[in-house]
Amino acid sequence: MAEETKTDQEKVNVPDLRDKVVQAIKLVYDPEIPVDVYELGLIYEISVYPVNNVYVLMTLTSPNCPSAESIPSEIKDRIQQIQGINDVEVELTFDPPYSQDMMSEAAKLELGFL
């Protein structure tokens, strides 16, 4: 019975943990753009695995972005501050290439694209 409870509890906690990860990522901004990296569409994938390991696949606005080292490390740091997180991996990719179409409606509005 205790195993069933733990399994049910894990099912409840993973979505909550994913929401906390998203909220942590939303605290990270591209220094040149007044919109967080999540709303900019720079986050391609967020996976929460057993034992609260988190994997984030992301991109940058361009391969030559001056913040190429600081943004991924800030995302990793923010996620690691969440209580219960075990390990965090942030992977950077440029496939598919970033485009403004990846921005949320809120980001487009903030930047004057709507």
- 58-106 pLDDT, tens digit each: 999 888 888 888 999 999 999 999 999 999 999 999 999 999 999 999 9
Asked whether 44 and 57 are in contact (CB, 8 A), the reply is yes
- What pLDDT was estimated at residue 33? 87
How far is the C-alpha of 75 from the C-alpha of 9, rounded, in Å?
27
- What pLDDT was estimated at residue 9? 41
pLDDT in tens, 17-29: 999 999 999 999 9
pLDDT in tens, 33-52: 889 999 999 999 999 998 99
Q: Angle at which helices 70-80 and 2-25 pack, to 10 degrees?
A: 140
How far is the C-alpha of 1 from the C-alpha of 5, rounded, in Å?
6
pTM of the model: 0.84
How far is the C-alpha of 49 from the C-alpha of 56, rounded, in Å?
11
Query: Does residue 10 surpass a pLDDT of 90?
Result: no
Query: Does residue 11 surpass a pLDDT of 80?
Result: no
Largest CA distance in the chain: 55
pLDDT band with cut points at 50, 70 and 90 for residue 13: low
